[in-house]
Amino acid sequence: MKPLLQLVEAYTVASLNDAVRELERQFPEVLWSGDRNSNQVALTFDDGPHERDTPALLAVLAKHGVIATFSWLGERVEQMPELVAAAAAAGHQLMIHGYRHRSFLVEHPEALHAMLDQTQELLARHSGRDPATITCVRPPYGHLSRALARRLLNWGYQPVICSIMPVHWLLPAELSVRQVTQQTEGGSLIVLHETLPGPPVADLTDQILTRLTDRGFSYVTIDTLRAERAATGGARG
């Protein structure tokens, strides 16, 4: 087992930043990361809300004084509207992950558009926010194509992926924490997941925030990362 974990670690802690830079060149309309010349990173959470993970994450984020971004599914928002209200009250950004966790590439465009609008409306209704402020969308599984990116933009949505995503539901906690800590640079866009098995995501977040703060990083929402990237002309370093 130990040699297998060593093999996994050698892969997972390897820098993927060169791959992200290439994706940024291929999909410049998609937000992958922010300004690498800054000390700011964005911490995001997919797949919720979740009755166990969301309250625990809100507590950890409050402990560290961090504002994050929650990328949520419309069908789960309908089931747990009180968690949407709690996240909004704490000042966190709300982002669309789709109505259901299914690749956008297999959805009919008209149906997808309707589901995104429905999820936007649900998040707005239960958070008390203007729907026009909820425009960021992260496609499930990171599945994307040029045609899909164009559709999202034409519908008024901003496609967002990430630059760091540990498979923490399959790995020991320390390995996932070390991967994120070592790979993070200025402008990194980190995604973790609610609802999944493995080490509790709130515990991972607590450890990650402690280590990244010790390295001098500060934390912003996706909207802030986008705005500051635009203000610097999309600086990448």
Is the CB of residue 134 less than 8 Å from the CB of residue 95?
yes
In a domain, 194, yes or no: yes
Averaged pLDDT, 35-60: 97
Q: Is residue 7 part of a domain?
A: no
Question: pLDDT tens, 156-165?
Answer: 999 999 999 9
Global model pTM greater than 0.95: no
The model's pLDDT over 212-225, given as tens digits with 9 standing for 90+, comes to 999 999 999 999 99
Residue 219 to residue 119: CA distance in whole angstroms: 26
Residue-level pLDDT at 16: 60
For the chain, the straight-line distance linking the first and the last C-alpha, in angstroms and rounded, comes to 39
Are the C-beta atoms of 175 and 12 separated by less than 8 Å?
A: yes
Determine, yes or no, domain membership for 235: no
Residue among 176, 172, 196, 171 at smallest CA distance from 48: 196
Structural domains counted in the chain: 1
In a domain, 149, yes or no: yes
| 103: CATH | 3.20.20.370
Distance CA 42, CA 220 (A): 5
Does 142 map to a domain? yes
Note whether residue 3 is domain-resident. Answer: no
Indicate if the pLDDT at residue 177 is higher than 70. yes
Buried-state track 68-99, b at ≥16 Cβ within 10 A, e below 16: bbbbbbbebbeebbebbebbbeeebbbbbbbb
Q: Per the domain annotation, does 133 fall within a domain?
A: yes
Whether 146 contacts 167, CB under 8 Å: no
Q: Please report whether residue 55 resides in a domain.
A: yes
The confidence band for 24, taking pLDDT boundaries of 50, 70 and 90, is confident
Domain that holds residue 113: 20-230
108 CB burial (10 A radius; 0-12, 13-18, 19+): exposed
Return the pLDDT at 21: 76
